[in-house]
Structure 1
Amino acid sequence: RIAPEDLPSRVVSLMEERKRLERELAQAKKQLAMGGGSGGGAAETQVQELGGVKIIARKLEGVNPKDLRGLVDDGKKQLGSGVVAFVAVSEDGKGAIAVGVTEDLTSRYNAVELVKAGAAAMGGKGGGGRPDMAQAGGPDAAKADAALDAVRAAVGELAGAA
């Protein structure tokens, strides 16, 4: 039992603990998304090369769409040069896609065009952002793999045309 006079400090303590746990959970999800937590190096196996361009394209379960941009930024740092595409699958069956293009490749690849291709595969329209970072959504997350394939195909086509 808690004495009434101790209640305010107990509530503050519980709120601080909740914030800490939320931060830890977000960090764990981020590590999982980037392939960490499984002996390391798992993310390296996710890197493909299409026409000489490195690409990471992954479907992420249980990741908040708001976290996609940060994850894409992390992926771009990991690659150094390349394209990163992540699709977050929500519990309600919707998908969110974010695509990042490292600065050295924005003259060849436009993240907005790539994200539009991915969103279209999930039944979405549009998408917006900048040449180096774009995000969109689609109503059918069951087609997340098709969305990633559409981004890969667009990167491959452009790589072949270069």
Structure 2
Amino acid sequence: GPRAAKYRADIYEAAATAAQKLGVSETQLTESIEQLTAEIRDLKKQLGGAGTTDAYSGRIDNNGESGDYLARRATLKAAARALNISLLDVPERIDAMLVEREKVQQQVAQLAEAGELDADTLIADAEMIGDAKVVIVEATGATPNLMRQLIDQIRKKTQPVAILFAAPQGDGKVLVVAGASRDLVEAGVHAGNWVRDVAQVLGGGGGGKPDMAQAGGKDATKLAEALVTARETLSEMLG
């Protein structure tokens, strides 16, 4: 009947569309999905996370059915099983996976760039304001944990020191994390107020404790201005 004919047409379209999105033939659809799933999982592992989707390791089995429609349905069924979704949802899920892959690839690249930051190098390149070493750095793609770890490492290696990282995240947003050694906190430096003032320039806000704080902004185009503000604000705190 008409309903069966429409379903048949939908199967044809879904199989063709899914294969086209991945740039493969329909017979390669399931294998390509498995490869994409594995690639996303491996990328997430590089970010320190774990993949949430298990690749399907089975093979296409059409149970002896023959004919172009039955072959396409079997292919689509295997792909749907690999993704744990319904047959006609396969093209939409592939779109989402391709977007996710691109996003995670960008995050991995940013993290690799941020990973080049080194506490000893940052200390060597620090500027002096009075007797205090000052590290104010743009750290593209750095995670909050990485920035906090670097702050702790720097404070253990040298004092008095104040550190502020501004990390563009690739979506217009900027994370700001700052810390100060205990002697500077006792002298009036307040990391919470420091990041707050910097984040305001970036169209955001935040704050925290005197020795360690985090804030966020949403206008990365103001980053250069924000770094100038970071130096000015710290200079005022240091008197």
TM-score strictly above 0.5: yes
How many matched pairs? 141
Q: Choose from 180, 194, 203 the match for 1:114.
A: 194
Q: CA deviation at 1:17?
A: 10
Residue 90 of structure 1 is matched in structure 2 by 169
For residues 44 and 193 of structure 2, the distance between their equivalents in structure 1, rounded to whole angstroms, comes to 40
Structure 2 counterpart of 1:77, which letter? K
User: Bigger relative contact order, structure 1 or 2, given CA contacts below 8 A and separation 6+?
Assistant: 1
Q: Structure 1 46/129 Cα, relative in aligned 2: closer, same or farther at 3 Å? A: same
For residues 99 and 137 of structure 1, the distance between their equivalents in structure 2, rounded to whole angstroms, comes to 12
Tell me the alpha carbon deviations over residues 83-126 of structure 1, each in whole angstroms, 9 at most, x when there is no partner. 0000111110110101101111112201111111111111112x
Structure 1 counterpart of 2:142, which letter? V
Q: Secondary structure at the match of 2:116?
A: helix
Q: Please list every run of 5 or more consecutive structure 2 residues that lacks an aligned counterpart in the other structure.
A: 1-40, 49-107
Residue 4 of structure 1 is matched in structure 2 by none
TM-score (norm 2): 0.50
Q: Which segments of structure 1 move beyond 6 Å, counting only runs of 4 or more?
A: 15-18
Greater radius of gyration (CA): 2
- % same residue: 30
For residues 44 and 175 of structure 2, the distance between their equivalents in structure 1, rounded to whole angstroms, comes to 27
For residues 111 and 152 of structure 2, the distance between their equivalents in structure 1, rounded to whole angstroms, comes to 15
Structure 2 counterpart of 1:68, which letter? M
Greater percentage in strand: 1
Q: Please list every run of 5 or more consecutive structure 1 residues that lacks an aligned counterpart in the other structure.
A: 1-14, 36-40
Tell me the alpha carbon deviations over residues 19-61 of structure 1, each in whole angstroms, 9 at most, x when there is no partner. 4x445x79955641237xxxxx642442011122211000011
Greater percentage in helix: 2
Residue 63 of structure 1 is matched in structure 2 by 142
CA contact (8 A) 1:83 1:100 kept: yes
Q: RMSD between aligned alpha carbons?
A: 3.0
TM-score (norm 1): 0.71
